[in-house]
Chain A
């Protein structure tokens, strides 16, 4: 099979040189091996002829070569043509004249070649979808009808048969061809695709189960054989069991193998028992139904498995992306923190240095103004202390997991925050209202961190309103008690210009900012702070005129 694979690896290229030996050599080798398979199967499945027509009750050779034509191109119809000639002469030992044999060969080869050629446009030979299986079955049926019709016309024209004979002969021929394609074509296609990936371990693992199926099928056949002819096919439904089980367990591959096993066993039974061909045709019609059922179940299972696999793949991809994003976010957080730290420390250092130089300069003057020197040094020390507090604050923040938890009354915390930002807000004609519910229970949090969150949210509102040049700015800070779980929710609403959906989507990622000079760090740090307090911070609404951020903190239940 190896040379077949090589040729089939690029089914749509014709005679392109590949590897060390020329492609046409592979084509010929492939053609010859399939020709051999065709003749051998013809010999195995041959039952009898009807006035020279190869009326086999099924046509496995046709199914195999049809698969080749679907996979590698309709030019392999030549294999079918030669196969028919050799089978007629060597297997059937026909006494027909050679022109007639040529006619039969041409009709079969051209008929199925044409159908295969057309089917190739729509059919995916991997048969992964239900649609492909139905297309394949339909192509087989159309081919069988076409060829049976043309052969009938040939026989009538040649006056070998009359119309009645043709009708009698065409029934089994039609069913035989259709079933040959239905059983053998999917099997062959799947074998071509799967054999390269099969390992001995897989085969060894499957062996006991295969043996079980064989045993079951033989048992059923023996049972059917016991009942003798007529009523035998009533027991045919027994065969549905192993085929459906194999289809459910192994998908399309299981169905194909189960069907082939059943079919070969059936032909074996026929040889053994010597059934009448017409009775056998009835069996074959049932077999066709079984085939359609088995393939449908098999491909449905495949589709389901494929869908599951895709879901798993997407999930894995998503997990990878999430991990990546988290990594990037963590990196950004650290690097932008460093940048923010540098900026915040640079300001007091600049001020302190300037004041130091001023004091030094004053001391060098003849008439030293001691009060002014003292003033400068005092301010300078305050600036250095400020720089130190920045460092301390950052270090405190970075020392996550151990915030200094204390009992905090939100009302006083909010009022304190307003002391810090109120001047700036009123300077920008922004009114801030506070609405804290009476008897609000205290929360347990790190005072400094929680104040950072409130300050940041209010500062954002102030900046948004000022940035839009609004003169009627309003900010409302509210805090209220909620249940399930018992929590305090704080909301900061402003009548600023709102947020674009793009900005809202990336809001809590570091380095996201709408401010010209912003570092895009505030909200991501705020969200982290609230998270470490087992609460949540979110954007309730980004609407212009009513932009609202909310966060909640759990209340420890008095025990």
Chain B
């Protein structure tokens, strides 16, 4: 389930932000420290983190680094009482989605959260389609892979036939099988798939 994770050591701020985001329609989970958040969240969780920069123990910037170290692809929006430029730069460099100063403008915060969520969603979709593509490609026979590569490299059926010393009809039948297995409506789609699979250089 997609959620907004609010992490702040200050009770009043944490609860108020949580209430506001809930009213706005987000599913919200609250944590009083980065450590307790890391303990609770697994790699499978989707959502967006809203974390205070200054916290006892692990601070917001360290949290961003720790998430990327654990390969947890959650976007992080950092919030800070007195943000200075170096701190903001450090946060963004570490990989934070955005950096927002307190007192928080809710439109800015919601925009940042939505951007983060959209980006993860896109990434997830892309990952899913990539996984599917990889599965389809794995179902090709070695001969089909050979012809797939030749098609992707721009060889015509005649050229492929003479290269492999087989009839043009056989080549056409292989091509039809490949297009079907890869669910590619056209040669152009096939070429794009070849690029995404790393078979040919873009």
Contacts and interface: CB of A to CB of B under 8 A. Distances in A.
B81 A343 contact: yes
A353 B12 contact: no
Interface stretch (A93-101, A357-365, A396-404, A521-529): A357-365
A376 interface: yes
B23 A348 contact: no
B112 to A, nearest CB: 15
Contacts of A383: 12, 16
Nearest to B107: A357
B17 A354 contact: yes
A517 interface: yes
Contact of B13 (A347, A357, A516): A347
Contacts of B24: 358, 361
Contact of A361 (B15, B16, B23): B23
The residue in A354, A355, A376, A466 that gathers the most chain B C-beta atoms within 10 A of its C-beta is A354
Interface residues of B, number: 20
A516 B81 CA distance: 15
Interface string B102-135: 1110100000000000000000000000000000
B149 to A, nearest CB: 56
B19 interface: yes
A152 B124 CA distance: 114
A425 to B, nearest CB: 14
A357 B106 contact: yes
A352 B82 contact: no
Contacts of B56: 466, 516-517
B20 A350 contact: no
Given A343-B82, A347-B10, A347-B13, A353 B19 contact: no
Contacts of A466: 56
Contacts of B65: none
B175 interface: no
A278 interface: no
Contacts of A362: 23
A130 interface: no
A346 interface: yes
Interface in B1-37: 10, 12-13, 15-17, 19-20, 22-24
A346 B19 contact: no
A339 interface: yes
Interface in A323-380: 339, 342-343, 346-355, 357-358, 361-362, 372, 376, 379-380
A358 B103 contact: no
Given A347-B102, A351-B12, A358 B19 contact: yes
Interface size grouping (class) on chain A: 20 to 34
A351 B82 contact: no
Contacts of A342: 81-82
Nearest to A467: B56
A555 B36 CA distance: 48
A496 to B, nearest CB: 15
A350 B104 contact: yes
Contact of A349 (B15, B20, B23, B103): B103
Given A353-B103, A353-B104, A379 B16 contact: yes
A295 B22 CA distance: 95
The residue in B16, B54, B81 that gathers the most chain A C-beta atoms within 10 A of its C-beta is B16
Nearest to B80: A346
B19 A339 contact: no
B91 to A, nearest CB: 16
A354 B16 contact: yes
B16 A346 contact: no
Given A339-B82, A357-B106, A517-B56, A350 B13 contact: yes
The residue in A346, A357, A379, A466 that gathers the most chain B C-beta atoms within 10 A of its C-beta is A357
A466 B10 CA distance: 17
Contacts of A516: 56, 59
Given A355-B19, A379-B16, A517-B54, A350 B102 contact: yes
Contacts of B104: 350, 353-354
Nearest to B53: A517
The residue in B17, B20, B82, B104 that gathers the most chain A C-beta atoms within 10 A of its C-beta is B20
B20 A346 contact: no
Contacts of A386: 12
A351 B23 contact: no
B20 A355 contact: yes
A254 to B, nearest CB: 66
B12 A348 contact: yes
A383 B103 CA distance: 13
B23 A346 contact: no
Contacts of B102: 346-347, 349-350
A354 B21 CA distance: 9
A355 B16 contact: yes
A199 to B, nearest CB: 59
B164 to A, nearest CB: 67
Interface in B43-73: 54, 56, 59
Lowest 5 A-B CB distances belong to which pairs? A351-B16, A354-B16, A354-B20, A358-B20, A351-B12
13 contacts: A343-B81, A349-B102, A350-B13, A350-B81, A354-B16, A357-B20, A357-B106, A358-B19, A358-B20, A361-B24, A383-B12, A466-B56, A516-B56
Interface of A: 339, 342-343, 346-355, 357-358, 361-362, 372, 376, 379-380, 383, 386, 466, 516-517
Given A357-B106, A358-B20, 12 more contacts: A342-B81, A347-B102, A350-B17, A350-B102, A353-B104, A358-B23, A361-B23, A379-B15, A379-B16, A380-B16, A386-B12, A466-B56
